[in-house]
Amino acid sequence: MTRDALEALDRLAGGLGTAVLALFLAMAWSVTLVSCLTGVGLLALPGMIGLTRSVAERERARLGRRGEPVISPYGEPAEGNWAEQMKAAWHDPSVRRDLAWVAIHATMGLVLGMAGLALPIMGLRDVTFPLWWRLLPAGEVGSSLGVRAETWPAVLAVGLSGLLWLGLALVLGPRLAVLQNLPGRRLLSPHSSVDLSARVARLTATRAAALRAHAAELRRIERSLHDGAQNRLVAVVVTVAAARRALSRDPEAADPALERAQTAAEQALAELRGVVRGILPPVLEDKGLSGALSALAAGSAVPCGLSVGELGPLPLSVEATAYFTVAEALTNVARHSGATRVDVEVILYGEALRITVEDDGRGGAGEDTGGGSGLAGIRRRVESHDGVLTLSSPEGGPTRLEVVLPPAS
């Protein structure tokens, strides 16, 4: 519950920031609309629409960092003279939805953000009040609500009230954050009438990439079986046949042949196990995603801190993608980053699964062009589930990899 409250506090603070921007934007719209009565504000309308879109995009990015991505509904910017731009804006439902969001977020979002931040601040202030109340000037001693407290019983009551505020912050914080984000998720997502051809094209491309990755994976498995395990098994058959012939002619020579056959069989079994692990790690079936990730963290070459939230039942394909994402990320950290520590966090954020891998290495990471491994391979796996991968790796570090897999996966 404490983790949820802290994350909610982070979301409320971010929402408060965009709410302040929305408030200034609403004030600017008011001035512009009033000035339109004189004709002066008409020339500013295209710029105001662009500014509104910029603030709305900022909110979409904020919502996408902490949950399922909010798709931008905007198409190509309207061209032509002022009249043509205004006509396009008049028929664009995203303009009206952006303005409705500005009005709601500048009021309700601002109030919810301030309330969500005020609760823990008031709680900490009143809980610690008995430690410093004597330092206040006479006549200014009181609780967060301004109730005077100048005797020890009253001061202790203020301290107990601080526990109440903290309790309310734990319980109400996540709910306030969800309520604050609701208008943005409802109004800033594409309207049903918006042409989603670009979205369909992107999905088509990711599905095609997924099919290519699947074909490449089948070829890898075939090569592993043909060049590895199959050759080992052929060697076993040949060696056993030679041992059988030696038993009738020279029994003492049969023992080394049988030993070679046993060694080849053990190697074939080990290669088969490696192929199976590459398809779907057995540890996922045995221990679930949490246990599988714990095994990865324990075997990491770089000291790894792991935090796994309450995940509940997930589709097997999502669990496999999450497992291979963390496994490949830890391998990249060990090989290229020079890090001394890496932290992995896997949580459900709303209904989406969010995976974060952050190390303290040298940074400068980029996607390779190899076939199916490294960051490019991770991106292909993620996009095949319609997920989003975000990489931040400035020179000097740290490197932060974040993957969000939507519930539709």
pLDDT 10s digits, 248-297: 777 776 777 777 777 777 777 777 766 655 555 666 777 788 888 888 88
Average pLDDT of the residues of the chain: 81
Q: What percent of the chain has pLDDT over 90?
A: 19
Q: What is the pLDDT of residues 81-123, one digit of tens each?
A: 888 888 888 888 888 999 999 999 999 999 999 999 999 999 9
Q: Which of 65-69, 210-214, 241-245, 319-323 has the lowest mean pLDDT?
A: 210-214
Tens of pLDDT along 34-76?
998 888 888 888 889 989 998 998 898 888 877 777 877 876 6
Is residue 356 scored above 70 in pLDDT? Answer: yes
**Predicted TM-score (pTM) above 0.85:** no
Residue 15 pLDDT greater than 60, yes or no: yes
Residue among 91, 86, 81 nearest 36 (CA): 86
Averaged over 195-223, what is the pLDDT?
A: 62
Over range 391-408, report the average pLDDT. Answer: 82
